[in-house]
Structures are given as C-alpha cells and as structure tokens.
A and B are shown apart, each in its own frame.
Chain A
Amino acid sequence: QVQLQESGPGLVKPSETLSLTCSVSGDSINTYYWSWIRQSAGKGLEWIGRIYTSGTTNYNPSLKSRVSMSVDMSKNQFSLRLTSMTAADTAVYYCARDQGGQLNYWGQGTLVTVSS
C-alpha cells in the first residue's frame, strides 16, 4: 500500500525558508511525478508544483520564483523549499503521487504557520 508522510517545521518566521520532506513507502519514487499541494482557508487547494525522478520539474507560475523541489532516490523521498515566507503562505501542505495529473495518493498533510 502506497503511503506518503510529510515532515518539517510547523512554525516558520516571516522571510525565512520552508523546507518540507515527503517520505514514500510502498512504492518506488522512481516512477510517476510527485506533487506538492497546499490548502489555506483563503485560497482553497493550490498546486505548488511537481518533480519527476529525472529532476524535471513543473512549478506553479504564481510561486515559481520562490519554489524549488528535489528528489532523493536513495531515501525514497522528495522535498520542497519555499523561500521568503509570509503570512499568506500559512497553510496545510500536502505531498501526493501524481499520475498524469491525477493525485491518487496523498500524505496526511502538515500545518505550516508563518509567524514571528
């Protein structure tokens, strides 16, 4: 059974960088795309971007200047970095397996709050 688990800090200060990791079990990360999505009360579900194991990435243009993603095949993990965090980035962040744009397995989500 495919399982994903997000990990990272729950609190980030304004202007700092968020780093989250998604650990995948029950499937090799060496297939499919792997996406990050966030959900805030104000903006609903927002797709942040995705990465393939080749290193190919697609980012949401609205966040592209601040986002980077990476994959660690040896650990079966992929990661998200989001720079220059503001209160508007406060949200629940999810990772998901992305099969041609179909997000068929999701992590449980991790709440990230931006506050000093």
Chain B
Amino acid sequence: DIQMTQSPSSLSASVGDRVTITCRASQSISSYLNWYQQKAGKAPKLLIYAASSLQSGVPSRFSGSGSETDFTLTISSLQPEDFATYYCQQSDTTPLTFGGGTKVDVK
C-alpha cells in the first residue's frame, strides 16, 4: 500500500493567516493526489483533485501543488469557515489511502 504522511498533524492559526499543509507519499503517485476538508460530524468534502485542480464551488483561496511524492495544500487567507481537518488521499493505485489528517484550529 502507498503510505501518505501529512504534516503537521495540527496547527493553530488566525483568520487572515496563510496556511500550508504538506503531504508526502511513500512512492511516486504522479499527480494523483486529492485534498478533502472535514468538519466535525460531517463527511469529508473534496477540495482539490489531481494535485492542483479546484473542485467546482470551492473558494479560490484554496490551492494545491506538487507532484511525484511531495504535495502542498495552501489556504491563502484563512476564513472562519475553514477551521476543520484536512486530509490528503492518493488515487494512483488501489487501495486508495489517506493521510492522517491536519487539524486547523483557532490560535
């Protein structure tokens, strides 16, 4: 299985901050990397697919970059509704695998 490692596991930030989350794959996955946002008690929501493509309806303050083994999710200016947990997930091969999550909370 491809292992996905996210860092940090949690971070504290303020509204307006630029937030960066990283995800590393245990082997090359080209650009088959997706990012999800999950709020408490809710299902994950797809934000970014194919490493850098913004899912329809997702605000442009979210962006993704990277390829092969190293990827980044950036929130350019954190908004109150962005406090949540973020997961990366590889879709290069089955089984699909997820990172352990990054919880973004209020500083």
Query: Taking beta carbons and an 8 Å cutoff, which residues of A are in contact with B?
Result: 35, 44-47, 49-50, 58-62, 94, 96, 100-104, 106-109
Contacts and interface: CB of A to CB of B under 8 A. Distances in A.
A94 B42 CA distance: 10
Interface in B22-73: 32, 34, 36, 42-46, 49-50, 55
Nearest to A102: B49
B15 interface: no
Contacts of B46: 102-104
Interface residues of B, number: 24
Contacts, number: 59
B80 interface: no
Specify the main secondary structure of chain A where it touches its partner: strand
Contact of A47 (B42, B97, B101): B97
Contacts of A62: 95
A2 B44 CA distance: 15
26 contacts: A35-B96, A44-B98, A44-B101, A45-B44, A45-B87, A45-B101, A47-B94, A47-B95, A47-B98, A49-B95, A58-B94, A58-B95, A62-B95, A94-B44, A100-B91, A101-B89, A102-B34, A102-B49, A103-B36, A103-B44, A103-B89, A104-B49, A104-B55, A106-B45, A108-B43, A109-B43
